[in-house]
């Protein structure tokens, strides 16, 4: 048993050696099979404590799981119209919570807005309010009739956050802690709400927080509110435990998991790279409820999410047909580093084991 773990650890070290930049914090956690204790490796290798990172859009998977839990408890249903909680949103009577979760509501995003990126550079420590986000995106009306298209939307998940708080009378940060992190004993997982909440994260600099692109310490300058739907800070092992518990039925019911993994093929051009040379190339990019997926991946279907923003890159995926393995990679931003590539290289190494 120990020899097998040592071999796996050596494989993880080899993958990290290929991807991690010198001196940059990176962590990988592997759950070999459902319920296994995560095997965690990192760089720099002399870290005495597992580093914490912002996981950015992997937060959407936590939000989706929260909504399934709220449906299971009878506090709401995914087919509730948004008009029940936020009637001021255009087409709110036609937008269901499910459509927000799978990005088929047509809510515009701010990722391509010059005004958003300019504001992050000019006032990185003071994020937009809910009302300003809404004015720049939601209030302009949907990109298409709800249910008749697909478009990734951070503000859509911002609306979900507000709905969860309205339905329960509880702040989003407490909901994540009480409904997910505490039951699963994810002791390093919490919603980051202020700059002070970033103080104990892994070191990370970003050129996206100053007008002249001067690199600065994200932990001293970045308001987490620039992620409109909320952003979780965590460790690779905690995120791997969460994804593993989700797919093993230790968090939501199998019926809820089936809803989450009901996929829509998304309009993302696939890579034309040679699958034999780069086996982690996306083949059928799809989306469920807070889950990215590729049902045609080389290792069988994979489900999870990527995340990225100033300072950090994040990725976590579960491969049911690869012994039920789950891999999470979190790292500080560095030229050429993409957490997703590391995850898929680990999956490929496992497949060749």
Instruction: Give exposure, 199-215, as e/b (b: 16+ Cβ within 10 Å).
Output: eebbebbbebbeeeeee
Residues forming a β-bridge with 312 = 309, 332
Cα–Cα distance, 177 to 47 (Å, whole number): 26
Cα–Cα distance, 302 to 304 (Å, whole number): 7
pLDDT of the residue at 98: 98
> Into how many domains does the chain fold?
1
Would you mind telling me the total number of residues written for the chain in this entry? 353
Give the range of the structural domain holding residue 88, as residue numbers without chain letter. Answer: 2-351
Spans of the chain, pLDDT less than 50? 269-279
Closest to 328 measured CA to CA, from 40, 59, 44? 40
**Which stretches does DSSP call E strand in 4-151?**
26-31, 39-43, 53-54
pLDDT of the residue at 41: 95
| Cis-peptide into 44, omega within 30 deg | yes
SS3 state at 28: strand
pLDDT of the residue at 21: 75
Cα–Cα distance, 284 to 327 (Å, whole number): 20
Q: What is the DSSP letter of 139?
A: G
CATH number of the domain residue 188 falls in: 3.40.710.10
Cα–Cα distance, 93 to 293 (Å, whole number): 29
pLDDT of the residue at 271: 43
pLDDT of the residue at 273: 44
């Amino acid at each position: 048993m120990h020899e097998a773990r040592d071999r796996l650890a050596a494989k993880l070290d080899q993958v990290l050696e290929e991807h991690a930049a010198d001196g940059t914090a990176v962590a990988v956690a592997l759950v070999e099979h459902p319920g296994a204790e995560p095997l965690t490796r990192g760089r720099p290798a002399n870290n005495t404590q597992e580093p914490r990172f912002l996981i950015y859009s992997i937060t959407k998977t936590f939000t989706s799981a929260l909504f399934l839990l709220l449906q299971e408890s009878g506090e709401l249903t995914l087919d509730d119209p948004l008009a029940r909680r936020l009637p001021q949103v255009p087409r709110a009577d036609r937008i269901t919570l499910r459509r927000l979760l799978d990005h088929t509501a047509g809510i515009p995003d701010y990722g391509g807005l010059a005004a958003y990126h300019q504001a992050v550079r000019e006032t990185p420590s003071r994020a937009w309010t809910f009302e300003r986000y809404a004015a720049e995106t939601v209030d302009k009306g949907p990109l298409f009739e709800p249910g008749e298209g697909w478009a990734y939307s951070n503000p859509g998940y911002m609306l979900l956050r507000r709905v969860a708080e309205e339905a329960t009378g509880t702040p989003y940060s407490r909901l994540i802690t009480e409904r997910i992190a505490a039951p699963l004993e994810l002791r390093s997982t919490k919603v980051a709400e202020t700059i002070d909440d970033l103080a104990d994260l892994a070191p990370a600099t970003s050129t996206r927080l100053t007008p002249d692109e001067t690199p600065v310490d994200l932990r001293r300058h970045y308001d987490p509110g620039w992620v409109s739907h909320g952003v979780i800070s965590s460790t690779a092992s905690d995120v791997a435990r969460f994804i593993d518990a989700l797919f093993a039925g230790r968090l939501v019911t199998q019926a809820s998991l089936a809803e989450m993994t009901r996929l829509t093929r998304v309009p993302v051009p696939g890579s034309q790279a040679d699958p034999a040379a780069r086996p982690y190339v996306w083949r059928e990019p799809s989306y469920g409820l807070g889950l990215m997926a590729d049902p045609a991946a080389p290792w069988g279907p994979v489900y999870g999410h990527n995340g990225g923003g100033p300072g950090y890159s994040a990725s976590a995926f579960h491969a049911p047909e690869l012994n039920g393995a789950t891999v999470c990679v979190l790292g500080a931003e560095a030229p050429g580093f993409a957490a997703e590539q590391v995850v898929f290289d680990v999956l490929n190494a496992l497949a060749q084991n």
